[in-house]
A and B are shown apart, each in its own frame.
Chain A
């Protein structure tokens, strides 16, 4: 019967709606279930191409959705990063200082610090009670943010190079600074601390190199220091993993 309608036989004989429902009921058709299915199709927003691709790649629609909700991968953030790289390209042309290589590590570090964590992700606490662990989300987002920043860095360094040749001097520092930002934000539970860690560490390296060599550009050409940057990246990444495990379960650090 239709909700709110009388249930007597006289009403049933006169009401087309109730007759239709009675017929469907006799056929054992669950109208509520049909309605839920229709409503779901009407209300749902189809996943975008990127999300569908990420779901196939990661083997998890949930992780793919977590990836596309990364705060530092929203369009505005990526455009802002691209704009800073563009300014770096212009500054490189006009000053003969490799500004692209100098800003790339900090941009990536900031993006990674804001990829996940309290203050960066609004639904962080809820996310920590989910079957797909916060550690998995953190690592997936960090890798994706690093990848996007590396791609932008490659594009910017290609454009900035007068010879059109690709320079890779910024990549090892970018890995180290990103890992430091991840460790800082994970241990402290603050994206701002992560950004501060990245900015502070890179500033020390750049200014230290400049004082020693009297050349601001020297930090962008690590040369023999590249292995050291990679060691720092591995160690800081390991610390971030350890901290994310402890904060996810065990002695909590994120509070």
Chain B
């Protein structure tokens, strides 16, 4: 019975991933900040699923996410996100209604409660007014902050604030979810729960996660890209990245050896790109 329930859902999911409305397409993207060319000639196509973005500091991950979030306009190149041309004001607005974004540094209003903060961004995303409160409550529950829903933001820990940021990003049930270092400050148990949430959202939406944590990629991502100096120098599955590491990966358990292989694969891909 459970199998019969699953099969139509899988077929529907496969159908969804092949439509332009659930895909992002970036062509020859260039991004210049002052005199620095942060991103150069970047091409990227991503479909529904959880896509990990790895890379050293300054590789251009945050700038790429800010560009995809339409916070920054591209210096050159084009973006078509969820089938919408972001250069067109009307289509950009439509995209933003379907977008969830967690910046690297979440600015917040200290005297807002958790509920008020998430509600504020639900309203700015132009969600239907009748749906807002229930959606906010649901988002707060999904990040496990129901016991702090009425707490002022200035009383929360860094990890809790991160979860508030995630709640505002998912409140509108986004088709494109962009998360910049989402697990920073979360404790191990919260990270495990968060990865499960990511996988759930990635069943139907395009989720792009920038992270420094290899274990996040191993546990949650169906695909991974490695950025270096504004370019993508590796793209493949986490297994393919791990395969770049040598066979003598250190670690006591299979899990540790897996992470170790991923880290070695990451370092090797980076070294090859730099060479």
Contacts and interface: CB of A to CB of B under 8 A. Distances in A.
Interface stretch (A80-88, A98-106, A127-135, A160-168): A127-135
A39 B137 contact: yes
B188 to A, nearest CB: 22
Nearest to B100: A129
B10 interface: no
> For this complex, into which size category does the number of interface residues on chain B fall?
35 or more
Given A129-B99, A132-B124, A133-B93, A122 B71 contact: no
Given A45-B115, A122-B109, A126-B106, A39 B146 contact: yes
Interface string A118-157: 0001111111111111000000000000000000000000
A199 interface: no
A105 B168 CA distance: 38
Interface string B69-80: 111110100000
Given A123-B107, A126-B121, A126-B168, A249 B70 contact: yes
Contacts of B199: none
A94 interface: no
Interface in B117-135: 119-121, 123-126, 129, 132-134
Interface string B134-169: 101110110000100110000000000000000010
Contacts of B113: 43, 45
B73 A252 contact: yes
A23 interface: no
Given A39-B146, A44-B119, A133-B93, A126 B101 contact: yes
Cβ-closest 7 pairs across A and B: A62-B123, A122-B107, A40-B133, A130-B124, A40-B137, A43-B149, A131-B96
Interface of B: 33-34, 66, 69-73, 75, 87, 89, 92-94, 96-97, 99, 101, 103, 105-109, 113, 115-116, 119-121, 123-126, 129, 132-134, 136-138, 140-141, 146, 149-150, 168
Interface of A: 33, 36-37, 39-41, 43-45, 60-62, 65-66, 69, 121-133, 248-252, 255
